[in-house]
Amino acid sequence: EVQVLESGGGLVQPGGSLRLSCAASGFTFITYGMSWVRQAPGKGLEWVSAISTSGGSTYYADSVKGRFTIFRDNSKNTLYLQMNSLRAEDTAVYFCAKGTQCDYWGQGTPVTVSS
């Protein structure tokens, strides 16, 4: 059974940092690109970032470019999102999704940026 389990969310002050993790199982992780998508409270889905199978290619939404970094550890079947210089508008539930077409989603981890 495919599973992706996000963790690492929480409350952080503006300007702070947070690292999200996504533990994958039930599929051959190294053969899939991976994605992060977020959803602000009461709002729609916003694509955030994606990464290729090897990690050699990464892609970002303009809203997070230069502040967020996506990377993966294929030996641990884990995807990460390093979030720096956080802003109030980054407050959202962050979902990890399998593939660059987001074919399977986790339950999400909430991130709140507030003083």
Partner 1 sequence: DVVVTQSPLSLPVTLGQPASISCRSSQGLVHSDGNTYLNWFQQRPGQSPRRLIYKVSYRDSGVPDRFSGSGSGTEFTLTISRVESEDVGVYYCMQGTHWPRTFGQGTKVEIK
When the beta carbons of 42 and 115 are compared against partner 1, the nearer one is: 42
* β-bridge partners, 72: 79
When the beta carbons of 23 and 102 are compared against partner 1, the nearer one is: 102
The two structure tokens encoding residue 57: 């290619």
SS3 content of the chain, % helix, strand, coil (to 5): 5, 50, 45
46 binds partner 1 (CB under 8 A): yes
C-alpha 80, offset from chain centre: 6
Residues 67-106 that bind partner 1 (CB under 8 A): 95, 100-106
**Interaction site with partner 1 (CB under 8 A):** 35, 37, 44-47, 50, 59-62, 95, 100-108
